[in-house]
Structure formats: C-alpha cells, structure tokens
Amino acid sequence: MHARAELVSSGEKNSLSVKLVFLGRLEDLAGGSSRKVPLAPSIDAVLDGLDPALASALREPRVKLAVNGILLQDTDAPVLKDGDEIAFLPPVSGG
C-alpha cells in the first residue's frame, strides 16, 4: 500500500509534459532558454496555453520548428507525447 501511495505522488510530481526550447531572440521573449509545459495533443494546443504575445511570436512563419531534433515541414502536425522536445528556431544569423 505504501509503495502504491508513493507511485501516485511521484506521478503527480512528474505529470505529463513537453519541453519547449527557445533559440535566439525567442529566448528573451520567453524569459528563458527552455521551459516545461503540460502535455497537449498538438503544437497548436501547446501554443494556446502560452502568453498570447509569446504564442504569436512563436507562430511567425519565419520561425521553424523541430520536434525531438527533427525539423518539421510546414504542413506537419505531429501528435505530441510525454517528454517531447519542441524547439522554436528563428531565422539563423549565420556563423
């Protein structure tokens, strides 16, 4: 019984989430280079849960997205799962 109680409480602590990574100037807008947010089924749903000003910056067409290190094409709409990492990549400024 004791073990089960512990499982439940650790389940609470590690609730399902995705990690957002903000590159370049998006880091300043987001107030940090990354953050964990509750898991939502789609990227749109994740963005809807953010501050509207940040969400609109992340939705700019010039901002590319990568999920778990794989660059998304414009039409991709991946189903998110626990632990996914979504990176928001503004235009690169070159090496």
Residues found near other proteins in the complex (CB under 8 A): 21, 23-25, 27-28, 66, 68-69, 71, 85, 87, 89-95
Nearer to other proteins, 6 or 28 (CB): 28
Nearer to other proteins, 46 or 86 (CB): 86
In angstroms, give the least distance from the CB of 5 to other proteins: 38
In angstroms, give the least distance from the CB of 21 to other proteins: 7
In angstroms, give the least distance from the CB of 3 to other proteins: 36
CA-CA-CA-CA dihedral for 62, 66, 69, 71, to nearest 10: -70
In angstroms, give the least distance from the CB of 35 to other proteins: 16
Secondary-structure percent of the chain, ordered helix, strand, coil, rounded to 5: 35, 25, 45
Nearer to other proteins, 4 or 94 (CB): 94
- Per-residue exposure over 20-55, b if at least 16 CB sit within 10 Å of its own CB, e if not: bbbbeebeebbeeeeeeeebbeebeebbeebeeebe
